[in-house]
Structure 1
Amino acid sequence: MASTDETVAPAPRTPLGVMVAACVSTLIVNANTSAVTILLPAISDDVGTPVSTLQWAVTGYLLVGAACIVTSGSLGDVFGRRRVFVGGLVLFIASCGFIALSSSGLAIILGRCIQGASGATLLASGLSLITIASPGEAQLRAVSYWGSASAIGAAVGPLLGGGLVDSFGWQALFWIDAAIAVVLVPLTVLTVSESSDPSRDRSIDWLGTVLIAMVLAPFILAVTKGADWGWVSLPTVACFVVSVGALVAFGKVETTVRAPLVNVALLRNRVLVGATICILVGAAAINGFMYVLSLFFQDPSTLDMTPFQAGLATLPATVGMVAFTPAVPKLASRYGTSTIIGIGFIAMTAGFALLVLTGSNWGYLAFVGPIVLAAVGLCLSNNPCSSAATGAVDQAEVGAASGLSNMARYVGPSVMTAIVAALYANIPADRLAAGASATDALISGFRAASLALAVVSASGIVLVYLVRGSRPSGPTTGVDVAIAAAAPVHTIPRPEPA
């Protein structure tokens, strides 16, 4: 998020217009993001592309978003936040239409990659618009509304997506999103004033943006195809080499460009680094979990749920998070940030570990406890991590710290979703080839994915050491609760009253 101290920001034509445009856009972006996994089996049946290939519709979206989330904020600071926001809306509309009209898996994956860029742009520039346009206490209210809209979108996405695919087909989600975004374009143009940051360096770290994508794409491709190609085959090794080479090049570039995506100096801040890695781990685990869970629930060999039923089955996670969110800032303030983060990761690890015991006689109710544990664990860890990340730096560096943690929210899920997708596809295939039933084969894949998620979550318990010593300051308010609600999908620095 851009600093507001030296920003040129004329009074908004209609403050309500800024609020509606920013909040509705984040709601539809996050609803779209969380709903797509529910749609994958229906898309697979329609276009004839295996779900194991269509996972790139999820990971491709995330890896492009990781590359664009910071760059899009920089573009708004330099060229105008309203201009970039409207550009994001137009790109989002185009990507929705392209996906809905696509008849091949490759086209859908391409459309989702484009949508990753537009989604990241809308999140980054939308938050900047309401922050710049709303001074003092109005800014606090604006941020709380934006945070609530972000959380609501992510929560209702699976249920909405499942209901739409059952009633109208998988394309309906994208047509509805496009229609809403179309309305937001004239609303934004007519009611939102332009703003920019003339004090900011006008250079954009394009090379860093490309290198982030080059780090992630080959790595994910190797993870996805390694079992088929062979883990020591030339294509697999080449992908890993390109990924590592791009990471080294990214590190060098970030120390030389005038306006880097990542301020390397911040990486010497132990608390910021620890909090950011914890955010990455939590986001990776919960997104990988929702991917494999929705597929497992819908498979005819397991619970054979409809898409709507599968979306409904995620409600315990939403209820658990909603119930605990108001208490998280107070708990962190009373017991310490690192303590609550550690408890959160313990709960996530326990939830996933229980799912390693999944049996063929398990009905849906057997999954509810582990689902709630994992969701509550995420709730307990994410907000304190976000607060620790932005609270560990000076006010002038808060925007860079939040940008780093938001990039982590894309990087972690893109990699972890690829890992669990590979496990869930390859292990059942091997078990089927060995003569196992379809049910037993899928359960083996689900157990392996759950074990991987438990191991990743357990690493968060160890990483809590890096966050020790950080404590939130000030009384807990409704704004803190809204920021906590949004924390699983976006880091929002708590604005300072004027």
Structure 2
Amino acid sequence: MSGDTGMSTRAGGVLAATCISTLVVNANTSAVSILLPAISEDTGTSVATLQWAVTGYSLVGAAVIVTSGSLGDVFGRKRVFQLGLLLFVASCVLIALAQSGAMVIAGRVIQGAAGATILACGLSLLSVAKKGDEQLRAVSLWGAAAAVGAALGPLLGGVLVGITGWQGLFWIDAVVALLCMVLTAVTVTESRDPTRPRTIDYAGTVLIALTLTPLILAVTMSGEWGWISVGTLSCLAIAIAAGMAFVAVERRVAVPLLDLALLRNRVLVGSTIAILIGAGTINGLMYLLSLYFQDPAALGFSPLQAGLATLPATVGLVVVAPMVPKLAARFGGRQTIGVGFAVTAAGFVIVGLVDASWQYAAFLLPLVAIAVGMGLSNGPASSAATASVPENQVGGASGVSNMARYVGAAVATALAATIYGSVIGNQTADGASPSDALAAGLAAASWMMAIFSFLGVLMAFVIARHRAPTGTLNDAAASAAAHTHTLPTSATARSGSLS
């Protein structure tokens, strides 16, 4: 960004503060699904209700991710970043002290705002503190921290449940976030963008939340209310009205949350939908497997065993992704995206054939296939989002794709949870055994995600030719982090600053 001031920092301070905080946020986010059965047992809240601890986080993150970056540009990136860390600490303490599921959900909603703010402003702080090759290396390290945190979160959560109880994760995260606050206060100099208009699209932020909340509520409660009930139809009507109001507001505000002109870009739209599908399916998968693996009527794993069992999906994705940019450079980005989603769809189809007799070994092949497929599709889709626009629209394109990740995670997790729970309830009512009912629920939800993944294949046909990354080390880091955040690649148009 031009016109940035206060760019000096003490050596390594901003890099350490942003990378550590990003690792913690992503580890916390990916660990929560593993903790849900333990939280349910302690608080007496059903897992179906605690699904809002996952979807509520993503819902608020979708509304806040772009706005928090704008707040940093206007009021100071360090100040807003510190506010995000403070909110994160407060949310961790609230969750750790929670005696009810409602308190856990409330804490996670706050945490959604905090996490999005930390990611958005942390990357901005890093981008103005470094320039040129040094900037690219720093952002690559940030991306690597994000990827490692997301991959190891479920394992970390499983370990801590056995040692400290589920509350331990949040106490540790609170302490680390406090240390990041101190480190930031001591080493990071304030910066802002004086050339940016001071207008903030608060209305757009609220309307995003008003669109997603009733939509997810309708999806979640449809099994109990019925799809044509007054409650469900009312929620859908509110969501549609809020969505229309959002479009109207975005056409009029000086600095919109979403530049609607970007939606005329075919490559950006296709890649954004691909990103939404990828984020939705991986989050839905982790939610379902965390519950299925730990249920006594299924595999009966401990939280630690469940965390280990999900490693082929999480670590596998991060291991495969860095190899993808060179493949995309050779064979084409959209071809790689299409093959990736096809492999992912095949993995979900196999899980859709699950039987109550399956042991963990039967899940390994489809989990590896899903991980490989997502590793192939995530990086090129993220790269296409920023490579498809001119330099002055890169920030907007990145914001759209990052928002899409949160939307995909919220909607797909809610839909997967609803299908899983509804099928289990129906099977149980029909006299099926608990193990058969659970397998049927997992199968039905997996078929839904297989269909979503097939839609991702179709996006490869929507995405036209665009600039491809050359396969540098920085491209590899951006690809590894692509399932959590969009980072620039060698294909991105830029003038030396990232946003």
What TM-score bracket applies, with the shorter chain setting the length?
over 0.9
- Assess if the C-alpha contact under 8 Å between 2:337 and 2:380 holds in 1: yes
Could you say which residue in structure 2 is the equivalent of 1:422? 418
Task: Give the Cα separation in 1 of the matches to 2:156 and 2:227.
Answer: 39
Q: Percent identity?
A: 56
Q: 2:101 aligns with which of 80, 96, 105?
A: 105
Alignment match, 2:14: 18
| Partner residue, 2:458 | 462
Aligned residues of 1:161 and 1:308 also touching (Cα < 8 A) = yes
Which of 2, 11, 34 is the matching residue for 1:5? 2
1:67-101 per-residue CA deviation (whole Å, 9 max, x = no partner) reads: 00000000000000000000000000000000100
State the match for 2:177 in structure 1. 181
SS at match of 1:15: coil
Could you state the TM-score of these two structures normalised by the residue count of structure 2?
0.97
> 2:495, 2:69 → 1: CA distance?
22
**Aligned match of 1:73 in 63, 66, 69?**
69
Cα distance in 2 for partners of 1:41, 1:301 equals 13
CA deviation after TM superposition for structure 1 residue 15, in Å: 3.1
Q: Distance in 2 between matches of 1:240 and 1:15?
A: 51
Match for 1:51 among 20, 24, 47?
47
Q: CA deviation at 1:478?
A: 1.1
CA distance in 2 between counterparts of 1:294 and 1:383 reads 25
- Map of 1:479 onto structure 2: 474
Deviations 1:437-461 (A, max 9, x none): 0000111100100000001111111
Report if aligned partners of 1:22, 1:130 keep a CA contact under 8 Å in 2: yes
* Kept in 1: contact 2:319–2:480 (CA 8 A): no
Is 1:211 equivalent to 2:207 in the alignment? yes
Residue deviations 1:16-58, cap 9 Å, x none? 1100100000000000000000000000000000000000000
C-alpha separation in 2, matches of 1:430 and 1:347: 31
1:251-270 pair list within 5 angstroms = 251-270=247-266
Distance, in Å, in 2 between the alignment partners of 1:120 and 1:257 is 22
Q: Aligned runs of 1:136-147 on 2, under 5 Å?
A: 136-147=132-143
Name the SS of the counterpart of 2:249 in structure 1: helix
**Mapped pair 1:120 → 2:123:** no
1:106 and 1:288 map into 2 onto residues whose CA distance is: 22
Q: What is the letter of the counterpart of residue 12 of structure 2?
A: L
Q: Select which of 216, 220, 224 maps to 2:216.
A: 220
Please say if 1:489 is aligned against 2:484.
Answer: yes
Deviation at 1:233, TM superposition (A): 1.1
**1:171 and 2:167 correspond:** yes
The range that moved more, 86-95 or 488-497, is: 488-497
State the shift of 1:493 in Å.
1.7
SS in 2 for 1:342: helix
- Structure 1 residue 176: Cα displacement: 0.2
TM-score scaled by length of structure 1: 0.98
Find the residue that maps to 1:55 and give its secondary structure. Answer: helix
What residue is the counterpart of 1:438 in the other structure? 434
Contact 1:140 1:497 in 2 (8 A): no
Matches within 5 A, 1:215-254: 215-254=211-250
Letter in 1 for 2:388: A
- Secondary structure class of the residue paired with 1:286: helix
Aligned-partner Cα distance in 2 for 1:456–1:284:
9
Structure 1 residue matching 2:192: 3-state secondary structure:
coil
- Distance between the aligned counterparts of 2:6 and 2:349, measured in 1? 50
Q: In the alignment, what sits opposite 1:290? A: 286
- AA aligned to 1:381 is S
Task: State the alpha-carbon separation in 2 of the partners of residues 470 and 337 from structure 1.
Answer: 8
Aligned residues of 1:349 and 1:374 also touching (Cα < 8 A): yes
CA drift of 1:480 comes to 0.9
Equivalence for 1:344: 340
- After TM superposition, list the pairs within 5 Å mapping 1:283-432 onto structure 2: 283-432=279-428
What are the ranges of 5 or more consecutive residues in structure 2 without an aligned counterpart? none
Indicate if the aligned counterparts of 1:23 and 1:150 stay in contact, CA closer than 8 A.
yes
Q: Secondary structure at the match of 2:12?
A: helix
For the 8 Å contact 1:336–1:471, the answer to whether it is kept is no
Change (3 A) 1:319 1:226: closer
CA deviations over 1:395-417 (Å, ceiling 9, x no partner):
11111100100000000110000
Distance in 2, Cα, partners of 1:322 & 1:28: 17
Q: CA deviation at 1:497?
A: 7.6
Matching residue's letter, 1:118: A
Given residue 368 of structure 2, which amino acid in structure 1 is its aligned partner?
V
> Structure 1 runs of 4+ off > 4 angstroms?
495-498
Note if 1:34 corresponds to 2:26. no
Q: 1:194 aligns with which of 190, 198, 211?
A: 190
Q: Partner amino acid for 2:189? A: S
**1:186 CA drift (Å):** 1.4
Q: Is the 8 A contact 1:325 1:484 kept in 2?
A: yes
Matches of 1:375 and 1:209, distance apart in 2: 33
C-alpha deviation, 1:137, in angstroms: 1.2
| 8 A contact 2:81–2:122 mirrored in 1 | yes
Cα deviation code 1:177-210 (max 9, x no counterpart):
0000111111101100000001111011000000
Contact 2:391 2:495 (C-alpha < 8 Å) held by counterparts: no
- Do 1:162 and 1:311's aligned partners in 2 also have CA atoms closer than 8 Å? yes
CA RMSD of aligned residues (A): 1.1
Q: Deviations over 1:293-321 (max 9, x none)?
A: 11000000000000010000011123422
How far did residue 430 of structure 1 move?
A: 1.2
The counterpart of 1:273, out of the listed 269, 276, 285, is 269
- Are the aligned partners of 1:15 and 1:133 in contact in 2 as well (CA < 8 Å)? no
For 1:379 and 1:47, the matched residues in 2 are separated by 36
Spell out, residue by residue over 1:333-369, the C-alpha distance to the aligned partner (whole angstroms, 9 max, x if none): 0000000000000011000000111112211010011
Equivalent position of 1:96 in the other structure = 92
Q: 1:157 is matched with which residue?
A: 153
Query: Structure 1: how far apart are the matches of 2:377 and 2:30?
Result: 20
Give distance in 1, aligned partners of 2:392 and 2:218.
39
